[in-house]
């Protein structure tokens, strides 16, 4: 075959303007072979040289023979193509109506349209790379891009009596979901680029240019337990790589959820850490953080005991806050957040009024002991927030700036939004001095109004816990809810308890329903929770106003008892 090209060129040269050579080519039967070579592209330049040879004969008296061979081949190709077309149309139950320019293809039956309608779109969360989710890739594990950083909190360990500063982690997200396999393949491509990108530099681009340094795994309906555990271990290892901690993995998860809820309640910017992601994205992030916490508590972490945390929560429920000399604010917020993992919905309904009373009494006492924030400071940053509202965000650890190219963020971007809580005429001391040489006198507010402004983020915080309890567990009823008897509360739940199993199953199989419900919760927060103007309106939204009025003549009497 390598010799075909030079032979064809030689024959072409011999037949140019030489009739006897042309007759020899035609009479010897070589013409048909040359035409077959003309349509064979397997050997380099053979088809081209064969075509040149036939073109020389096309201009001679043997042109009809060349035309006949080529027309026969073209007709055979058209016939074969038409047969294939008819075969495909028959399979699809299609036919050609009319002929000529007005011809059109019509379905003989509705089978084709029915088949098209049966193609389902991905109904749940989907990968940002392949656009598939658990519907079409049930075995593939999905993860949520998240940005984590270490923070320090003042805390009292559940199994220890002394307080200390401990490291935990706070995460935020833009809620971009990706398969672990797609993330790995994309990272491999990023590393081979010029210039190469690191794993998280490439991930940041896929994450809509929102910084990320971790993947929160999602457990789906058919997720392999071994693979999910491996991904959870990878998630935890990445957190520990940021900074070491003495807290258990479950405690770190609860603190993460607690700080995230505090961002909502105190209206702290979510994008200040990662340069992207807002309330709507992090609201959808919440249930998968709860899923992770339940898994760590019951199936992953041997250092965490459900009974130990249940005992601490029971002690808090039956405690007398008026006799507590110096309560640990972080422990109280930890216990309130841990109720999402420890209480069934019926238990939450049974104890939420008591929890609310203790929670408010604690915050009032904490305000009396440690002072309060001047809510007129519109430029307040997380550093100036009362620790009872957002502990952990007031101090970064050395070395937590993981992004060398990160631009500095203006203080204004880090500001707390209290526009709906604070009278607009109030301003910071610095802004007042800059505006006028003489100090501006702040408008006076009543003691009740000042207390309400202080408590409002706390009220929104416990409302968010109530909303999460409702969304995740409302359809899961537990008729065996223990009642309070003789000053004791018994909460004993095993990991195989019906409500625990059903809650975990709902987080696996009803993700779309939960996410839709949380979108409505976000609307409720914006339209109701941020807008209530007094304690009575909050109690009505929280659903305990009848309980308050059954024990007190008025809401004012209820608040007076809490101040004692």
Distances (CA, A) of 545 to 201, 464, 553: 51, 17, 11
For residue 422, what pLDDT is reported? Answer: 29
Region 557-564: mean pLDDT is: 88
Q: What is the pLDDT of residue 547?
A: 92
Helix intervals (H) in 319-394: 329-342, 345-370
Contact of 218 with 142, CB cutoff 8 Å: yes
In a domain, 124, yes or no: no
Judgement on whether residues 57 and 158 belong to the same structural domain of the protein: no
Residue 533 maps to a domain:
yes
How many Cβ atoms sit within 10 Å of the Cβ of residue 247?
18
**pLDDT of 114 over the 90 cut:** no
**Which of residues 54, 72, 91 is at a domain's end?**
91
Whether 486 has a pLDDT exceeding 60, the answer reads no
Kindly state whether residue 133 falls inside one of the protein's structural domains.
no
Question: What percentage of the chain exceeds 90 in pLDDT?
Answer: 43
Residue 446 counted as domain residue: yes
Q: Considering only 253-262, 303-312, 400-409, 514-523, which range has the smallest mean pLDDT?
A: 400-409
pLDDT of residue 136: 85
Residue 563: both structure tokens together: 């101040």
The residue to which tokens 């999905």 are assigned: 142
Closest of 256, 296, 295 to residue 505, by C-alpha: 295
**By mean pLDDT, which of 338-352, 397-411, 471-485 is the weakest?**
397-411
- Split at pLDDT 50, 70, 90, the class of 488 is low
Q: Strands, E, within 394-532: which ranges? A: none
Model confidence pTM above 0.85: no
Residue 47 vs residue 455, higher pLDDT: 455
Indicate whether 158 and 87 sit together in one domain. no
| Lowest-pLDDT range of 131-140, 205-214, 252-261, 404-413 | 404-413
**Whether 373 and 252 share a structural domain:** yes
Which two structure tokens, joined as six digits, stand for 520?
């409505």
Q: How confident is the model at residue 322 (pLDDT cuts 50, 70, 90)?
A: low
Rounded distance between C-alpha atoms, residue 70 and residue 3, angstroms:
24
The verdict on 79 and 224 lying in the same domain is no
Grouping H, G, I as helix, E, B as strand and the rest as coil, residue 296 is: helix
pLDDT above 70: residue 274: yes
Mean pLDDT in residue range 516-524? 95
| pLDDT tier at 501, thresholds 50, 70, 90 | very high
pLDDT at 453 > cutoff 80 = yes
CB of 172 closer than 8 Å to CB of 274? yes
Sequence-distant (6+) residues with CB within 8 A of 125 are: 133, 134, 142, 177, 218, 511, 512, 515
Answer yes or no: is pLDDT of 294 > 90: yes
Q: What is the pLDDT of residue 22?
A: 78
The predicted model gives 64-76 an average pLDDT of 86
Pair 283, 204 in one domain: yes
Within 126-248, residue ranges assigned H as helices are: 180-191, 199-206, 225-242
254/262 Cα distance (integer angstroms): 12
Nearest to 238 by CA among 220, 253, 223, 216: 216
For residues 27 and 164, state if they share a domain: no
What is the helix (H) or strand (E) element at residue 48, kind and residue range? helix 46-58
CA distance linking residue 445 with residue 538, whole number of Å: 20
* Predicted confidence (pLDDT) at residue 257 exceeds the cutoff of 90: yes
Do the beta carbons of residue 231 and residue 217 sit within 8 Å?
A: yes
pLDDT, position 260:
96
Range of 499's domain? 142-400+416-563
User: Per-residue pLDDT for 385 more than 60?
Assistant: no
* pLDDT value of residue 17: 75
188 and 284 both lie in a single domain: yes
Distances (CA, A) of 86 to 80, 94, 554: 10, 9, 83
- DSSP H helical segments within 371-480, as ranges? 429-435, 447-473
Which of the pair, 371 or 556, is modelled with greater confidence? 556
* Greater pLDDT, 395 or 295: 295
> Is 131 a member of any domain?
no
Q: Which residue has the higher pLDDT, 61 or 163?
A: 61
Tell me how many domains the chain contains: 2
Domain boundary among 91, 120, 155: 91
Q: Are residues 86 and 191 in the same domain?
A: no
CA proximity to 239, closest of 215, 272, 261: 215
Domain boundary among 27, 60, 91: 91
Residues 169, 61 within the same domain = no
Does the structure show a pLDDT above 80 at 365? yes
Please give the helix or strand (H or E) that residue 515 lies within, else none: helix 511-524
Crossing angle of the two packed helices 19-27 and 4-15, in degrees rounded to 10 = 130
pLDDT at res. 375: 30
Query: pLDDT tier at 417 (50, 70, 90 boundaries)?
Result: very low
Residues 154, 58 share a domain: no
Q: Is residue 305 part of a domain?
A: yes
In a domain, 542, yes or no: yes
Lookup: tokens for 72: 């026969």
397-410 pLDDT per residue, tens: 333 332 233 333 33
Tokens linked to 104 = 């059109």
> Is 175 in the same domain as 77?
no
Question: 3-state DSSP helix/strand/coil percent for the chain, to nearest 5?
Answer: 55, 10, 35
Q: How confident is the model at residue 161 (pLDDT cuts 50, 70, 90)?
A: low
User: pLDDT, tens digit, for every residue of 185-226?
Assistant: 999 999 998 899 999 999 999 999 999 999 999 999 999 999
Over residues 370-383, mean pLDDT: 39
Confidence class of residue 98 from pLDDT cuts 50, 70 and 90?
low
74 and 158 part of one domain: no
106: in domain:
no
Average pLDDT over residues 149-163: 71
Side-chain-facing half-sphere of 79: CA atoms under 13 Å: 6
Cα 270 to Cα 325: distance, rounded to the nearest angstrom: 35
Residue 49 confidence (pLDDT): 80
**Mean pLDDT over each residue of the chain, to the nearest integer:** 79
Q: Do residues 290 and 341 touch, judged by C-beta distance below 8 A?
A: yes
74 contacts: CB under 8 Å, gap ≥ 6: none
For the chain, what is the total number of helices (H) and then of strands (E)? 22, 5
């Amino acid at each position: 075959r390598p010799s075909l090209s030079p032979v064809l060129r030689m024959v072409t040269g011999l037949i140019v303007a030489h009739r006897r050579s042309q007759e020899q080519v035609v009479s010897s039967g070589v013409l048909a072979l040359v035409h077959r070579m003309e349509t064979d592209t397997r050997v380099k330049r053979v088809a081209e040289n064969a075509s040149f040879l036939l073109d020389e004969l096309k201009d001679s008296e043997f042109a009809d023979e060349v035309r006949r061979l080529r027309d026969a081949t073209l007709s055979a190709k058209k016939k074969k193509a038409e047969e294939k077309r008819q075969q495909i149309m028959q399979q699809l139950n299609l036919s050609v109506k009319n002929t000529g320019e007005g011809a059109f293809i019509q379905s003989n039956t509705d089978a084709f349209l029915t088949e098209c309608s049966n193609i389902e779109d991905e109904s749940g969360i989907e990968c940002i790379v392949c656009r598939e989710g658990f519907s079409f890739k049930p075995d593939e594990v999905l993860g949520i891009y998240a940005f984590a950083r270490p923070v320090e909190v003042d805390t009292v360990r559940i199994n220890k009596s002394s307080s200390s500063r401990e490291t935990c982690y706070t995460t935020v997200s833009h809620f971009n979901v990706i398969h672990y396999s797609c993330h790995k393949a994309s990272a491999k491509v990023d590393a081979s680029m010029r210039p190469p990108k690191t794993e998280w530099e490439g991930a940041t681009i896929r994450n809509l240019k929102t910084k990320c340094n971790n993947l929160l795994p999602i457990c789906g309906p058919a997720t392999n337990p071994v693979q999910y555990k491996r991904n959870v271990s990878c998630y935890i290892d990445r957190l520990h790589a940021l900074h070491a901690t003495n807290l258990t993995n479950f405690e770190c998860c609860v603190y993460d959820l607690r700080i995230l809820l505090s961002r909502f309640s105190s209206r702290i910017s979510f994008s200040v850490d990662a340069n992207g992601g807002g309330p709507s994205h992090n609201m959808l992030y919440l249930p998968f953080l709860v899923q992770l916490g339940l898994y760590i508590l019951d199936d992953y972490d041997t250092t965490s005991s459900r009974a130990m945390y249940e005992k601490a929560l029971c002690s808090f429920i039956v405690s007398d806050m008026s006799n507590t000399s110096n309560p640990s604010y972080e422990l109280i917020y930890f216990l309130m957040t841990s109720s999402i993992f420890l209480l069934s919905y019926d238990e939450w309904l049974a104890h939420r009024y008591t929890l609310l009373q203790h929670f408010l009494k604690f915050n009032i006492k904490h305000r009396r002991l440690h002072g309060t924030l001047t809510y007129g400071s519109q430029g307040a940053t997380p550093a100036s927030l009362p620790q009872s509202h957002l502990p952990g965000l007031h101090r970064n650890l050395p070395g937590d700036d993981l992004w060398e190219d990160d631009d500095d963020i203006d203080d204004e971007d880090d500001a707390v939004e209290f526009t709906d809580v604070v009278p607009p005429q109030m301003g910071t001391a610095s802004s007042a001095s800059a505006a006028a040489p003489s100090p501006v006198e702040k408008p006076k507010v009543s003691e009740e109004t000042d207390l309400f402004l202080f408590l409002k983020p706390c009220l929104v915080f416990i409302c968010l816990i109530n909303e999460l309890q409702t969304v995740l567990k409302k359809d899961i009823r537990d008729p065996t809810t223990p009642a309070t008897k003789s000053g004791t509360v018994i909460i004993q739940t095993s990991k195989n308890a019906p409500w625990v199993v059903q809650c975990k199953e709902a987080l696996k199989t009803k993700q779309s329903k939960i996410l839709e419900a949380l979108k409505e919760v976000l609307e409720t927060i914006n339209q109701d929770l941020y807008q209530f103007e007094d304690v009575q309106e909050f109690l009505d939204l929280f659903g305990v106003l009848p309980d308050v009025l059954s024990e007190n003549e008025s809401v004012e009497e209820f608040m007076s008892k809490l101040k004692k």
